[in-house]
Structure 1
């Protein structure tokens, strides 16, 4: 493990396994090249995240990319998160262009240049699959959060991620049905993604709770800057958690409490969130509602 500017750099065990397999099969040059591509990909994410002032805890490298563990996950503007996510694949586009130029100019072997371009294309395209924690999964989550409530975004992005993760496992097993060879590397990656998203699905209530905790600070900023409020209308007899689940990530809300067609009161979202969080502290609310 290395540490630079307070950021820990760590190899995921899956990457270590792949490295050992490559060394045993005499393909060490390929794994070194892959490591360099993945590292450059992640440095794109890291540079952009630091530019936005995010607090980075750890950068974990995987065979297909990596994972930035940040303090601000789910609490920053969707635009920032989308820019940080796309910065990685753009690094691969840049590397592929450099490889093509080097091959065309004769600075490197043409075969190596072609392999280098294909490796970058694979890393970029694979990372754009709509699977968390891949870049495509994060971009999908950002896009969904601008159109549907954030809680529903977490639920559906996880379901989509699980579906595509299972598809990755099936793609690795499919050659066995046609007399081909098992795609062991794809199987390992697909299995990791399935396990990762299954765990994320179980942790959705806590991810949403973190969103609520940071929501008040961002709401104050919107009010100071001046913003249009989007109303949430809910019947008086409904629990507070029902209104909480309707919060949009990029909107400020006023909550209209209605009884028999009449508005009984209007609450700013911060007051409703504070009341809900206090009820959690006092044991009067159940986070299982958010599963």
Structure 2
């Protein structure tokens, strides 16, 4: 619809340039993801950016997620520098170069907003993964994304205060982000379950290389469905089960996850607990 409208208004060069920038932005993500050996399912191009869908979502190290997210805006920076250099050398028209640089800056800055599935939201999620349990990371990143998406929608109506027409393009993007993050919020239990299923493979790799374990201390009556919510994505855990101030047993995180998944398979655990 955006492309057809732009063609009707004689702005075909602008829309082609915009989608070219978006494509190169997404190729930055794609290149970095392939360097880490990720399996790419799909690349979606949108007017404000793109979405790279991969098989490894939520199961790879936060460091890799951060680098893949940063690669997109970094591509915009390189494009802007290239346009500036070409303009300085007289290879391209100065006004076109200025518009090209502005478009890259807008796309890069917008994608750095802390909203999923934008790059800034993924970077924020990776940063939180080093500091708080992963289940809490999923909940808080979804809440932050919904809040900021609503702020984008409200920002679209700011021109009304000056008697002008709302920014319909900003409104459309804000509504899309709200709908996307509302769906993500409802899917948090399944995202967390995917994290647990792939956790064992990553844990084995940490043990083989040697790692420092971070203890989790819980009372004996705590259920596995409660304790797995305390796992941090970037740590390996040993669970100390306590009774009246004394350690009853030490449970490796793999056994804890196996107990929870077995209970889930047998119908003794409820995914609604993770909402």
Q: State the TM-score bracket (shorter-chain normalisation).
A: over 0.9
> How far apart in 1 are the matches of 2:162 and 2:58?
43
Match of 1:247 in 2: 231
Normalising by structure 1, report the TM-score. Answer: 0.93
> How far apart in 1 are the matches of 2:114 and 2:211?
32
Match of 1:86 in 2: 70
| Match status 1:142 vs 2:142 | no
Query: Of 107, 118, 141, which aligns to 2:91?
Result: 107
Normalising by structure 2, report the TM-score. Answer: 0.99
Q: What's the offset of the Cα at 1:107?
A: 1.4
Q: What's the offset of the Cα at 1:106?
A: 1.7
Q: What's the offset of the Cα at 1:22?
A: 1.5
Match of 1:12 in 2: none
SS in 1 for 2:20: helix
Match of 1:284 in 2: 268
> RMSD of the TM alignment (CA)?
0.8
1:92-129 deviation per Cα after TM superposition (whole angstroms, max 9, x unaligned): 00000011111112211111111000000000000000
> How far apart in 2 are the matches of 1:102 and 1:194?
39
> How far apart in 2 are the matches of 1:182 and 1:21?
18
Alignment of 1:220-259 (within 5 A): 220-259=204-243
1:192-241 deviation per Cα after TM superposition (whole angstroms, max 9, x unaligned): 00000000000000000000000000000000100010000111111111
| Match status 1:179 vs 2:163 | yes
Q: Which sits farther off after the overlay, 48-57 or 102-111?
A: 102-111
Alignment of 1:48-197 (within 5 A): 48-197=32-181
1:238-290 deviation per Cα after TM superposition (whole angstroms, max 9, x unaligned): 11111100000000000011111111111000000011001000000011110
> Would you say the 8 A contact 1:18–1:185 is kept in 2?
no
> How far apart in 2 are the matches of 1:95 and 1:181?
32
SS in 2 for 1:245: helix
| Match status 1:202 vs 2:172 | no
Structure 1 stretches of 5 or more lacking a match?
Answer: 1-16
> How far apart in 2 are the matches of 1:124 and 1:18?
20
Q: What's the offset of the Cα at 1:177?
A: 2.4
> Would you say the 8 A contact 1:127–1:135 is kept in 2?
yes
Which runs of structure 1 show a deviation greater than 3 angstroms over 4 or more consecutive aligned residues? none
Structure 2 stretches of 5 or more lacking a match?
Answer: none
Number of equivalences: 275
Q: What's the offset of the Cα at 1:178?
A: 1.5
